[in-house]
Amino acid sequence: MVASTLEYEDAVEFGIAKEKIHVIPYGIEVPHQSKIETDRASGPFHILFAGDINRTHRIELILRAARKLTVPFQITLVDRDDRPDHEKPRILQELRKLCQTLGIEDRVEFAERKSPDAMNALYQKADVLVHPAIYENFGMPMLEAAAAGLPLIATPVGVALELVTSGETGFIVPADPDTICDRLLQLSEPKTRAEFSQNLRQRARQLFGWNNVMERYLELYRQLAPGGNW
């Protein structure tokens, strides 16, 4: 059993027979209303990244894209992985140096791992989640952000392929700062952001809400044990 289309493709590539692979995503609770759609506070355009601080996530693309913005902005980079990593201090040093080179060091916050409640509050506070990874088999922060109604800008990886319809719930982008900047500018418009937010939460509820996920589990059990009382 796998949780995303990319995990399915990986399993096939590893030689597992297609008929033995079942795609059932992780489930999530989607609230009935999002603050992003209702009472978002005014202030600088707030760009969020949440995930492991590593080279796979290409965080430098977010910094280079934001530098080109023509609207006031702030960036929060949340490290979701607190496991020891000998390379992470070097990556953080490089990112901080890049912020200085770009002249945006006063608009970028580097944050350590947060509690689930603190992360949810941050999803509600931010305006967009950017996830420009080289590879991601799922990407739970993208699903969490979607449940909160936070529009997504992502490369074609992980759960972004299920969540994002470009121009409706976010944007699928290449690893190009200019393109990412253009999409950020589009989402800096409150009306556009609110429309995307509503569409995205609806998508998240349809595909990843617990009712749908549990029904898919039950359907799998019916296939595996047809005589059971499912």
**Closest listed residue to residue 124, CA positions, set 142, 141, 149:** 149
Helix 177-187 / helix 190-208 crossing angle, nearest 10 deg: 100
Residue 38 in this model has a pLDDT that exceeds 60 = no
Band (103; pLDDT cuts 50, 70, 90)? very high
Alpha carbon distance 181, 187 (integer Å) = 10
- Model-wide pTM > 0.85: yes
CATH code of the region 28-208: 3.40.50.2000
Band (41; pLDDT cuts 50, 70, 90)? low
pLDDT score, position 222:
84
pLDDT score, position 33:
61
Q: Domain ranges for the chain, please list them.
A: 28-208
Alpha carbon distance 23, 106 (integer Å) = 43
**Closest listed residue to residue 49, CA positions, set 64, 36, 34, 62:** 62
Alpha carbon distance 156, 6 (integer Å) = 10
List C-alpha distances in Å: 192 to 37, 38, 117, 122, 197. 10, 13, 27, 20, 9
pLDDT score, position 27:
82
Dump pLDDT digits (tens) for 155-177: 999 999 999 999 999 999 999 99
Q: What is the mean pLDDT of residues 52-80?
A: 96
Band (197; pLDDT cuts 50, 70, 90)? very high
pLDDT score, position 195:
95
Q: What is the mean pLDDT of residues 2-15?
A: 85
pLDDT score, position 65:
98
Other beta carbons less than 10 A from residue 57's beta carbon: 25
Task: Please state which of the ranges 85-99, 133-147, 205-219 shows the lowest mean pLDDT.
Answer: 205-219
More confident position, 220 or 186: 186
Average pLDDT across the chain, whole number: 90
Residue 60 in this model has a pLDDT that exceeds 70 = yes
Dump pLDDT digits (tens) for 72-92: 999 999 998 877 788 999 999
Give residues with Cβ within 8 angstroms of 80, minimum separation 6.
50, 51, 52, 113, 141
pLDDT score, position 61:
98
